Amino acid sequence: MGAVTRPSTWPAVVLRGLGPRQAAPARLWIMIMIGTCTAVFFTAALLGDGGLDPLQLGCGIVLALFCLTVLALRPERAASLCVAGPLLGVAGVVVLDLGTADAGVTGQIFFTMPVLYAAVHLRVPGSVLVTAAAIGGDAIVVGRLLPLEEALTDLAFTGGMLILMGSVLTRAMVTQQRLVEKLRRQASVDPLTGLVTRRVLDDAVSAISSATSDTGTALVLIDVDKFKTINDTYGHAVGDDALVHIAAVLSARCRPQDVLARMGGDELAVLMTGCSYETALSRARDFVSTIHDQPLPLADGRRLALSISAGAAHAHQHTGSVRDLYISADTALYAAKRAGRGRVGELSGAERQALHVD
């Protein structure tokens, strides 16, 4: 049986929903914001007529310790605290304004800092929570220090400004994030075949040094034989259909953990983790024979015979390099094409040793 995944507790789920879009930038800016609030807090309190009272001193120490905690934690752990940062900032501004009896513009303007941070870095629920907390904090300040009519007027103006600022920035960041995710998907998936692109394959191949399997990793490069002839004879639409057909057939022959990618043009690749060289050769021969046995149905009822050539390379854990693996598989592929196509090319033992692969 597989390992049992421990369910997340509800606080962890809530914090993920309120937390930052990206942990590392959020951690940087939360330290800047809390550090600035702490500096302003101490400066204003020390310059006030009453000096620094115990409540102000305690709040300043809490802010400083929180900033140090975020700095010390790893980004993924600090991310859960990023929503607490602006809320502490709001509480610090409330204490600062009440301690200095400042309900004017100079006091209320500091409520914009947590809202700006939340709108730029937190998810939508987190931004809404911080904006609501800032409006609530401003209500406490003006309600304690101003007459009722003046307090309501200031609260309406400041609250409206905070809502407008937070909503506009949050909407802009959500739109930007959606565009970035769309571009990332377009860069990682080939629109014709639906296979992953060379970028994804390169990232996967680069991770072979951390593979845990003793059998190592194999790479099979595949080239469609006489693809230009198919395009010239039947047209580029049929050439596209041939690529889609081959991709579908190979996908059905791959394991869930294999990475099948379109390298570009008519060249494909299969990355096989936990696979020996002999197994990779056997599977590559299976790819070649399966494509041969499954011709492409054409619109007029005819069936177009297809053929592929393949070259396999293999590397044990922590041996060889990504470049050597590519070169080895590419060399084997061209050996298959020189030998007449429609087959799997192999490197000699001396060639594999020279390229530092099996």
Q: What is the pLDDT of residue 47?
A: 54
Residues 6+ apart with CB under 8 A from 135: 111, 155, 158, 159, 162, 163
Q: Is 191 helix (H, G, I), strand (E, B) or coil?
A: coil
Least confidently predicted of 61-70, 89-98, 141-150: 61-70
Each domain of the chain, given as residue ranges in start order, spans 10-184, 198-354
Say which residue, 232 or 35, is predicted with more confidence: 232
Residues 6+ apart with CB under 8 A from 70: 27, 30, 31, 34, 78, 81, 82, 85
Least confidently predicted of 147-151, 202-206, 276-280: 202-206
pLDDT over 80 (residue 101):
yes
Q: What is the pLDDT of residue 38?
A: 59
Say which residue, 46 or 65, is predicted with more confidence: 65
Give the CATH superfamily of 198-354. Reverse transcriptase/Diguanylate cyclase domain (3.30.70.270)
Question: Measured between alpha carbons, how far is 212 from 162 in angstroms, rounded to an integer?
Answer: 52
pLDDT in tens, 254-297: 998 899 999 989 999 999 988 888 999 999 999 999 999 999 99
Q: What is the pLDDT of residue 352?
A: 55
pLDDT over 50 (residue 139):
yes
Q: Are 69 and 120 in contact (CB under 8 A)?
A: no
- The secondary structure element, H or E, covering residue 211 is none
pLDDT over 50 (residue 21):
yes
Question: Measured between alpha carbons, how far is 246 from 230 in angstroms, rounded to an integer?
Answer: 14
Q: What is the pLDDT of residue 55?
A: 59
Q: Which active-site residues does the annotation give?
A: 266
Q: Are 34 and 67 in contact (CB under 8 A)?
A: yes
Q: Which phi and psi angles does 303 have, rounded to 5°?
A: -125, 125
For the chain, the straight-line distance linking the first and the last C-alpha, in angstroms and rounded, comes to: 33
- The secondary structure element, H or E, covering residue 184 is helix 148-188
pLDDT in tens, 228-260: 999 999 999 999 999 999 999 999 999 988 999
pLDDT over 70 (residue 209):
no
Mean pLDDT of the chain: 79
Q: Are 54 and 95 in contact (CB under 8 A)?
A: no
Q: What is the pLDDT of residue 98?
A: 82
Q: Residues 70-84: what's their mean pLDDT?
A: 63
Say which residue, 7 or 324, is predicted with more confidence: 324
pLDDT band at 2 (very low <50, low <70, confident <90, very high): very low
Q: Residues 62-84: what's their mean pLDDT?
A: 64
Q: In this structure, what DSSP letter does residue 2 have?
A: P
Burial of 76 per CB tally in 10 Å (0-12, 13-18, 19+): exposed
Q: What are the beta bridge partners of residue 277?
A: none
Say which residue, 187 or 31, is predicted with more confidence: 187
